[in-house]
Structure 1
Amino acid sequence: MTTELADNVRKYRRRAGMSQEELAHAAGVSPGTVRKVEQGGTVRMETLHALARALGVTTAALMASDAPEPIGRAEEPNRFNLIQLRAVLTPAVGLVDQDAEVAGEEPNLRTFSRTVRDARELYFSDSYKSVAAQLPGLLRDASLAVAYYDSGDEHRQALLARAEALRLAGTYLTQVRQYDIAYAALSGAIEDAKQSGDMLAAGSGVGGMCWLLVRQGRLDEAERIAAESMDAVEPKITGAEPDHYAVWGGLAMEAAAAAARNNRPDEAKEYRKAARVAATAVGTAHRNLSRHWSVFGPVTAALKALEDSMVIGDARAVVRKADEEEALSPRAWKRLGRPSTNDGNRFTLDVARAYTRTGDLSAAMDELTRVRATAPEWLRHQNSAAETMQEILNKRKRTLTTEMRDMAAYLDVVG
């Protein structure tokens, strides 16, 4: 953690008239954890959420910019793995202008859109290496099409096609924590969609940007742009299409996620209420992955709302709701429609962590094993999976089971 963060925690604790022990008790952490934070040690983001709630401030207020820590001798593994994608999204700039690449023949936008759709299916089917290999070529072809069709409806369609390719790139890069180039891709996707006049596609892109900002800890900004974009695409009281409700409801969920993590529970509840209104209007799961990256309905809204209980550390509530709420039961998904693969896997991870916190390590392992069976590559990129496995190892008093040892090795967790 940064020295400024340590100073902020100490400052707000003293302003509240609390000792380190009193803050630890109020936040539900050990006094050693508070001391560690105030000495500049590393703690999980959820620990900062708990400290912020105990101090009565936003999580963002505790975090401040500071010089980055040295990364050590080991190179970041994706520095070279994604070099071609970096070259496309952040091209080198010098004093001599480079001639723009020109398409040799008229692009086929229908074929290109089909190729992007196939690449998106690879992403959702957990084939990350294949997606990374295809993205540089897809983005170059998209830019050639935009340059070739410089006006008219073909130009609009080319912009939308490039927006879809950039959204795929931004989503993938956020997933693998390459946030700098993810930002370049997502901002480009939003701008292209806006220029094409498709505000719903642009609003969907904002949803991807919010996810990126939350992962970076930029909670105030994520909530702000989600709320502003909700106003921009708010559906009419009657007559709105399911796509419209899905994009608006998706933005409400992004705003709620940021507010909940920023110790703004009242605002989060209002956004969740808006998401439920949109979900009710849709009725059952509405899927538009081809343009708006959305699977939205009552199940998705309920899954995302459950995250709030995990954010505030109420593991028992997560276990109880997962068992009792109809929309959270896989049996009900046959009637209400299944969530997206990613949302379903995220829900399973939340339940696994909740079981770990409540001491049911066997049930937690069952949930982790279930996710690994359906999305092994996705699981390896989830910090929460590794943190949950670490907690299981720490809590296990007896000899680790073969299953536990295997999962720990897969997630690169050392007990």
Structure 2
Amino acid sequence: MADNGPGHIGERLRDIRKRRRLTQHGLSEASGVSISWIRKLEQGEQQDTRLETARKLAAALGVSTTRLIAGRREDEADEATIERWEPVRHALTAPVSDRGADEAPTVEGTSAALTAALPLFSGDRFTDLRPVLPALLRDADALARLNPRGRHLRGRLLQLTGSLMVQTRQFDAAEKALDRAVEDAADRLDGAAIATTRCWLLLRRGQLAQARAVAEREADDVEPRLSRATPAELSAWGWLLLRASAAAVRDNESDIATDALRLAHSAAVAMGREFAPNGDFLRAFGPVTVALKRAENAMVAEEPDRVLSLAARIPAGGLRPTSNNRNRHLLDVARAHVMKRRHADAFGVLQGVWADAPEWLPNQHYARDILGDIIAKRRTMTREMQSMADALGVPL
């Protein structure tokens, strides 16, 4: 079978391993992946594996991660999550019904409602957001049929909803929301912001080459002259470079990842501080954001000492904890502590994230894996560990 054939990852793994004249034992030693797991993959007992594990195997084989995981799809949300968010997904696709004049939404009223909902998005307050989002989507749809201001408002809401769907692993719904958001983009910077969220969706789905291609194409399109660039232009360009770097480092293209991160750093230096254009938390960008992503790249490359060194230099108050920046970084810090066998420190970091984002953490498979590693190294568990394991769905 060809290396990028339609079969499961184990068939491609076995084919490439044999072409490299490596035994399963040799591949295990080179990659750090257990020989039992390699056997389960090659024999088809396991049809898929985590992206982190695939990257280790691909690096040991000297191929891109994309080549090894062709056709892989990231796990979607569980049934309980799908059921909870059904009204939101329905509002994304259902036709808008005509309303009487007394019930017709206004741009001012809907804009105010969206502004009031922004802390629910940025704070990952899913329980509070679910009841209000369907009506907000319907109102925005109705307004978009009437005037350009309504379309711009709907585009922003659709991007926020798309990001939310990515966060809760409802990937098909996220793709639908982002496809619609593009149609309502007010300008190229709006389009770049939507592309940044789309790249995140592709990354979570393991579509690394596609994510990098989109990020690089869009970054070329919005690249500003640093000497006179606006904060909005720097944010749009910088975020696309960060997405390109994230895709490249996961695809074992370290030089490309480093170059993209260097350019993003240039944009952050020109920005001078953390700044969110038009108050949009999804576009917040600056030196701290780049530092967080540099640490993330180091964790993907399994350099725990570098992760902890970089983390120690990031200002504790430099960025408000949200799901798309500091909390994700803190999971890398926890993982680095696990790799250094500092399990108490790792659990302490997880506890902090859980306190800040109790509805966000259970949606992170990464957090589940970190806690699973901590538990595996302990003879007994504390009550706090048991509570978190229950919340994250970690088997005891």
Query: TM over 0.5: same fold?
Result: yes
In the alignment, which residue of structure 2 is the partner of 1:130? 128
Partner Cα distance (2:70, 2:211) in 1: 16
Partner Cα distance (1:43, 1:412) in 2: 18
Q: What aligned pairs does 1:67-216 form with structure 2 within 5 A after superposition?
A: 76-91=79-94, 101=98, 104=101, 107-149=105-147, 155=148, 157-193=149-185, 196=186, 198-216=187-205
Q: CA deviation at 1:410?
A: 2.4
Q: CA deviation at 1:142?
A: 1.0
Change over 3 Å in CA distance of 1:50–1:306 after alignment to 2: same
Q: Deviations over 1:127-170 (max 9, x none)?
A: 10222222211111111111122xxxxx1x22210011101111
The alignment's C-alpha RMSD in Å is: 2.3
Q: TM-score, normalised by structure 1?
A: 0.87
Q: CA deviation at 1:100?
A: 5.9
In the alignment, which residue of structure 2 is the partner of 1:47? 53
Q: Deviations over 1:43-90 (max 9, x none)?
A: 322010100111111111112338999x9xx98223332222222223
> What SS does the aligned partner of 1:148 have?
coil
- Tell me, yes or no, if the aligned pair for 1:280 and 1:297 is still in contact at 8 Å: yes
Moved over 6 A (4+): 66-69
Q: What aligned pairs does 1:255-404 form with structure 2 within 5 A after superposition?
A: 255-288=244-277, 290-291=279-280, 293-323=282-312, 326=313, 328-330=314-316, 333=317, 337-338=318-319, 341-342=322-323, 343-396=325-378, 398-404=379-385
Change over 3 Å in CA distance of 1:382–1:27 after alignment to 2: same
In the alignment, which residue of structure 2 is the partner of 1:218? 207
Q: Which amino acid aligns with 1:23?
A: L
Q: Which amino acid aligns with 2:114?
A: V
In the alignment, which residue of structure 2 is the partner of 1:7? 11
Q: CA deviation at 1:340?
A: 5.4
- Tell me, yes or no, if the aligned pair for 2:74 and 2:205 is still in contact at 8 Å: no
Q: Deviations over 1:262-301 (max 9, x none)?
A: 1111111111011100000000111236447211111100
Change over 3 Å in CA distance of 1:144–1:240 after alignment to 2: same
Q: Deviations over 1:316-375 (max 9, x none)?
A: 32223323xx3x242xx4xxx425522111111110111012100110011001111111
Mapped pair 1:57 → 2:63: yes
Partner Cα distance (2:138, 2:216) in 1: 33
Change over 3 Å in CA distance of 1:270–1:286 after alignment to 2: same
Q: TM-score, normalised by structure 2?
A: 0.91
Change over 3 Å in CA distance of 1:289–1:48 after alignment to 2: farther
Q: Which amino acid aligns with 2:295?
A: L
* Structure 1: 5+ residue stretches without partners: 92-97, 150-154
Partner Cα distance (2:366, 2:188) in 1: 33
- Tell me, yes or no, if the aligned pair for 1:190 and 1:205 is still in contact at 8 Å: yes
Partner Cα distance (2:91, 2:138) in 1: 7
- Tell me, yes or no, if the aligned pair for 1:103 and 1:144 is still in contact at 8 Å: no
Partner Cα distance (2:73, 2:380) in 1: 42
**Across the two proteins, how many residue pairs are aligned to each other?**
387
- Tell me, yes or no, if the aligned pair for 1:103 and 1:148 is still in contact at 8 Å: no
